Structure 1
């Protein structure tokens, strides 16, 4: 990635908490384009309540956040530009970007000049990255602002964001298919877990980073998107600590994990860039070694590249991994 893991995750955690990251054995296929693509003017009301007017469904689109880039590509509209394409390739495998997709800067500070130089029909970004950047971009190109996250209903928010983007690019039929496949995967996964007698068992999901000798841990609480996936499968999130209202994320350290005392807790974590603080950073830590899920070998590193803030296809990757563990 463009920065070290510690710097990236620390900055991400701060930004998320103040303003509020594998493959499956059978990856979902990208929906085929509609036989009759819509044409003519399109008006889409975005998360700001603003009517974004387009002369025709957008075909050349720039995405400034990975979740929105994934959604576009899964709808069959490969973005012309994406913020931090190298990072996307590391953390998102649900839909790969074409080699010709242009990097338009970092997610935190995309380059307005690089975006405008591509002459896109539309720029898609989320509320958390907006600010004055929207005003700058709208001097040159229409901007669609998604909600990006909502800890009150992140699954509903994901559906809404996908449908909004689909309307702007004329791919509503493709969005319907993506969501139907997603719902089918959830229903099938829930049944498999129930049939295995694992309904109601607990999970915890986290990522982390190390600075010096200090390991910081970011917990995915009740309102986080991946947590809501687990709950929809009939499982229970064991982390009940404080979380922010936008992302459903909480901050703790290894001592804070001692609240995860349940004998049925499985602990899932991400380390897609190879810096595994849970195995390497805590290997000699007595508190870590005393935790039930460590002693019982219920510690699960997610396959590299399952994005925790993605769309339906990343969501299905998470579902696959949870079902693999609980329905085994």
Structure 2
């Protein structure tokens, strides 16, 4: 009954979207072109402890966060829909989306109508975005809720989310191989950093924004996903301030950066959208220019498109960047 009602609503949504002249494409010929993976019924328990039962491994999947979208592509399952595909293209380069992937709205407010119109087998979203959206979607399609982040052990959380999604799309063997390759990359990166004499050195990773005269800086504590990657490579997180329990992220201003101690600290930051607070917005700031890592030339903008909240491939991309910075 649910699937029949879902199909009816999908057809209605497609007609409605077309009639309204919306820019969100409701589907089309590509909808029937997805190759179904082989396999029988699948049952997966998600981060809510809920069993998600599928008649077969999902092949038409909508992802409402970029990390999970990246994971699907890594597993060989191109999502039929992703929230904010343009933003994904800016911030995530480890796994690219096909032109066939439809935009289903923003990550904070995805369009239920656009999702339903794609006739998906499964929607994957993060627990941190759950609100009442999951209940709306579950009227029409199974929803798999990934944890998304956990600062108590974010690398293990990433592995578990990835493995869970792989089970839902029938790609268990592929997931195991990806994680094996990721572990090998971490081991090789740790070896290279040690060989360069950089083991035990310190880092602080941060994002930053400016709104008029107001400056906001978001340091990544030891529990943040990419911080845990760097720690696995043999480095130490030097941010001493408070962070939240989910993402491992803090909040400060330029003066707050004076609490970072250590003569070997490197300051790393991401500015993939082209807005570079640290090189441009703070270039004449007296406090910023007084910091030891600024004076010592140890400020590093990451290569654009390394997503700091991603899956194994983004984490491996970040690891390669860290090795480059600490061994050059």
- Assess same fold via TM > 0.5: yes
- Aligned positions of 1:112-127 closer than 5 A: 112-127=112-127
- Aligned positions of 1:72-87 closer than 5 A: 72-87=72-87
CA distance in 2, matches of 1:87, 1:319: 22
Say whether the 8 Å CA contact 1:153–1:223 is kept in structure 2. Answer: yes
- Aligned positions of 1:1-328 closer than 5 A: 38-328=38-328
1:107 partner SS:
coil
CA distance in 2, matches of 1:157, 1:229: 13
For 1:217-243, what per-residue CA distance to the aligned partner results, in whole angstroms no more than 9, with x for missing partners?
A: 000001000110111111000102100
CA distance in 2, matches of 1:304, 1:234: 24
Aligned length: 293
For 1:176-216, what per-residue CA distance to the aligned partner results, in whole angstroms no more than 9, with x for missing partners?
A: 11101110110000011111111100000000100111211
Whose Rg is larger? 2
CA distance in 2, matches of 1:302, 1:272: 8
Say whether the 8 Å CA contact 1:226–1:315 is kept in structure 2. Answer: yes
Instruction: Normalising by structure 1, report the TM-score.
Output: 0.88
1:59 partner SS:
coil
| 5+ long unaligned stretches in structure 1 | 1-36
Q: 1:261 Cα shift?
A: 2.9
Q: 1:38 Cα shift?
A: 4.1
CA distance in 2, matches of 1:53, 1:291: 54
Say whether the 8 Å CA contact 2:240–2:260 is kept in structure 1. Answer: no
Instruction: Normalising by structure 2, report the TM-score.
Output: 0.88
1:249 partner SS:
coil
| 5+ long unaligned stretches in structure 2 | 1-36
For 1:263-311, what per-residue CA distance to the aligned partner results, in whole angstroms no more than 9, with x for missing partners?
A: 1001000000100011111010011011111111111000111001000
Give me the CA root mean square deviation: 1.0
